């Protein structure tokens, strides 16, 4: 499990590194207005991905279930049914995307210099979403087989390809359409390589429309429609803000918000690396009647994610705005920095719920209440964003996201505790109490670095990061996880030969 989670984290860090390089490059190349337009296009076209109807997460659950049972015929039938579903849903997405393009043209006052380029980019982004549905199939098969390392090696290779193409091509022509075309090309390459790898590694799997069964489709939909609600709620939280800003503020403000939101999205992706492993593991353990082990995974993983979220989140809250000033521009420090601080503060409780509680509930098939809760919270975030953006600007919009995020997270954690017969107070004592107390010295160190050391340069930020990381490791080993029943770091270190020699 640790190897799979580590490979997911490596892929996430690779994505962070690529976007770390591309974001300031694109802002300088296309300008704040051009970059804001592209983020708006991605936000609008991204809603088409909801037409996948939660099938990928549902398919992973059923792929893992059939693999655990050793039922290859049923697995191939589910694969064939998903092939047909993805093809049909992708075609529908492209058709609806054509209508969205008309809405984009009529609803947003795009400057004449960007009009034609933005329309072509929108059309290509719709195509990217439509054909992207089919790429969920090889990813789901690899995840169900717990083959995360191979999948992530492919993802990292595609990321490097996208980085190289973007840096080379956009230096020659600053075009939003070319930027979207690069994404489409990388997506096709990803699917081709993944398909060839699956045919080589998993003998006996059949990708055929002939295996399509409506009975299997109905069984997938009975589960996936609730996953759709989860996905819709998540999209409302993280990808609706550019649409609201475009309606009520200048387009350049989309760039400021997107830079602040960048860190939250990748924090969610980071814990998503744990969630992708936990979901099929919970399904497999349930199928094998090993429910007690699911409770252990919930407690141990929640404490790890809480600790990582608190320490990483504190660093971003205290020193994140200064990193933005160095990374993008000094003009971004205050507007993007405030968005970052509000969103990350709300994510401190959301990340454990998203990374552990939600995938366990989905893996156990208990998705109804979490799905409705997520949808209601997402709708509330849009409503609060519209209400707060005019009087308070970008910080008001960030608060509109953060408040429902915290409320939903508490509900998910309580539901997971109830489903696993774990006392919620006991969960707080084990997973939360020591993690929170351990942040006190870490916060003191960060404030000293910011105010006493006046950190602003890259060298100062990097030194602060490594110093804080070492300090957090020490606090975690000697306090947070000391005598832990599931992960006693000191005891494991004492068992190492190097530690005994020392």
Does residue 474 sit within a domain?
A: no
**Domain housing 129:** 1-221
pLDDT of residue 231: 76
On whether both 365 and 419 belong to a single domain, the answer is yes
Query: Could you give the CA distance from residue 81 to residue 36 in angstroms, rounded to a whole number?
Result: 39
Per-position DSSP letters for 175-242, written without gaps between them: -HHHHHHHHHHHHHHHHHHHHHHHHHHSTT----GGG--HHHHHHHHHHHHHHHHHHHHHHHHHHSHH
Residue ending a domain, choose from 221, 248, 276: 221
Q: Which of 229, 128, 140 is nearest to 187 (CA)?
A: 128
**Residue 484 resides in a domain:** no
Domain total of the chain = 2
pLDDT tens readout for residues 314-364: 999 999 999 999 999 899 999 999 999 999 999 999 998 988 998 898 878
Looking at the structure, tell me whether residues 213 and 299 fall in a common domain: no
Supply the pLDDT for residue 498.
45
pTM for the complete prediction? 0.75
**Closest listed residue to residue 353, CA positions, set 319, 404, 399:** 404
Residues 210 and 244 in one domain: no
Q: Is 292 helix (H, G, I), strand (E, B) or coil?
A: helix
Q: Are residues 51 and 193 in the same domain?
A: yes
How does pLDDT run along the chain (502 residues), one tens digit per residue? 566 667 777 887 888 889 889 988 999 888 888 889 998 898 888 777 776 655 665 666 666 666 666 666 777 777 777 777 777 878 888 888 889 898 888 888 888 888 899 999 999 999 988 888 777 777 777 766 667 788 888 889 999 999 999 999 988 888 899 999 999 999 899 888 888 887 777 766 666 666 666 666 676 666 666 777 777 788 788 878 888 998 888 888 989 999 998 888 888 877 777 777 787 777 777 777 777 888 888 998 899 899 989 999 999 999 999 999 999 989 999 999 999 999 999 999 999 898 899 889 887 878 788 888 988 999 999 999 999 998 999 999 999 999 999 999 999 999 999 998 899 999 999 999 999 999 999 999 999 999 888 888 888 999 999 999 999 989 988 898 888 888 766 666 555 544 455 4
Question: Considering the domain boundaries, does residue 157 fall inside one?
Answer: yes
Question: Tokens 């707080």 sit at which residue?
Answer: 428
In a domain, 457, yes or no: no
Q: In terms of domains, do 320 and 414 share one? A: yes
- Cβ neighbourhood burial of 196 (10 Å; 0-12, 13-18, 19+): exposed
Q: Are residues 189 and 64 in the same domain?
A: yes
Q: Is residue 468 part of a domain?
A: no
User: Same structural domain for residues 246 and 158?
Assistant: no
Residue 214: the pLDDT is 67
Q: Are residues 347 and 421 in the same domain?
A: yes
Does residue 49 fall inside a structural domain? yes
d(CA 374, CA 231): 8
Phi, psi of 199 (to 5 degrees): -60, -30
Between CA 319 and CA 463 the distance in angstroms is 12
The DSSP result for 404-457, as a single string, is HHHHHHHHHHHHHHHHTT--HHHHIIIIIIHHHHTHHHHHHHHHIIIIIS---S
Residues 217 and 244 in one domain: no
pLDDT the model gives residue 318? 95
Of 221, 255, 275, which residue constitutes the final position of a domain? 221
């Amino acid at each position: 499990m640790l190897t799979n989670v580590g490979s997911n984290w490596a892929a996430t860090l690779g994505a962070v590194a690529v976007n770390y390089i591309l974001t300031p490059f694109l802002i300088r190349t296309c300008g704040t207005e051009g970059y804001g337009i592209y983020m708006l296009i991605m936000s609008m076209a991204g809603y088409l991905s909801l037409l996948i109807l939660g099938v990928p997460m549902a398919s992973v659950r059923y792929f893992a279930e059939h693999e655990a049972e050793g039922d290859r015929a049923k697995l191939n039938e589910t694969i064939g049914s998903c092939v047909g579903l993805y093809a049909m849903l992708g075609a529908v997405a492209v058709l609806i995307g054509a209508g969205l393009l008309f809405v984009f043209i009529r609803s947003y006052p795009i400057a004449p210099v960007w009009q034609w380029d933005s329309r072509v980019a929108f059309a290509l982004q719709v195509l990217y979403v439509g054909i992207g549905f089919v790429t969920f199939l090889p990813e789901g098969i690899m995840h169900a087989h717990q083959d995360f390392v191979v999948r992530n090696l492919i993802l990292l290779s595609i990321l490097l390809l996208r980085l190289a193409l973007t840096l080379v091509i956009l230096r020659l022509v600053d075009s939003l359409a070319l930027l979207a075309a690069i994404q489409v090309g990388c997506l096709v390459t990803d699917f081709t390589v993944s398909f060839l790898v699956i045919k080589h590694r998993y003998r006996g799997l059949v990708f055929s429309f002939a295996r399509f069964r409506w009975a299997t489709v109905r069984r997938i939909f009975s589960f996936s429609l609730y996953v759709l609600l989860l996905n819709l709620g998540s999209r409302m939280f993280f990808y609706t803000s550019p649409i609201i800003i475009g309606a009520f503020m200048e387009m350049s403000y989309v760039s400021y918000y997107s830079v602040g939101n960048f860190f939250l999205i990748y924090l969610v992706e980071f814990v998503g690396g744990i969630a992708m492993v936990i979901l099929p593991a919970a399904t497999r353990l349930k199928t094998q009647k090993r429910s007690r082990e699911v409770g252990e995974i919930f407690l141990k993983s929640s404490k790890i994610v809480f600790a990582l979220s608190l320490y990483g989140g504190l660093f971003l809250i205290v020193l994140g705005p200064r990193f933005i000033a160095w990374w993008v521009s000094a003009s971004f420090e205050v507007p993007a920095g405030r968005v970052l601080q509000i969103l990350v503060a709300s994510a401190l409780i959301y990340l454990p719920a998203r990374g552990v509680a939600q995938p366990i509930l989905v893996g156990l098939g208990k998705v109804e209440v979490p799905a409705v809760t997520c949808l209601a919270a997402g709708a509330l975030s849009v409503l609060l964003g519209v209400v707060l953006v005019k009087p308070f600007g970008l910080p008001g919009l960030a608060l509109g996201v953060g408040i429902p995020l915290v409320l939903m997270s508490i509900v998910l954690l309580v539901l997971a505790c109830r489903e696993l017969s774990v006392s919620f107070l006991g969960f707080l004592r084990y997973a939360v109490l020591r993690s929170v107390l351990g942040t006190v010295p870490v916060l003191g160190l960060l404030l000293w670095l910011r105010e006493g050391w006046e950190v602003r340069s890259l060298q100062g930020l990097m030194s602060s990061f490594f110093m804080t990381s070492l300090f957090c490791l020490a606090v975690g080993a000697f306090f947070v996880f000391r005598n832990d029943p599931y992960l006693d770091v000191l005891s494991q270190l004492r068992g190492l030969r190097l530690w005994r020699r020392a």
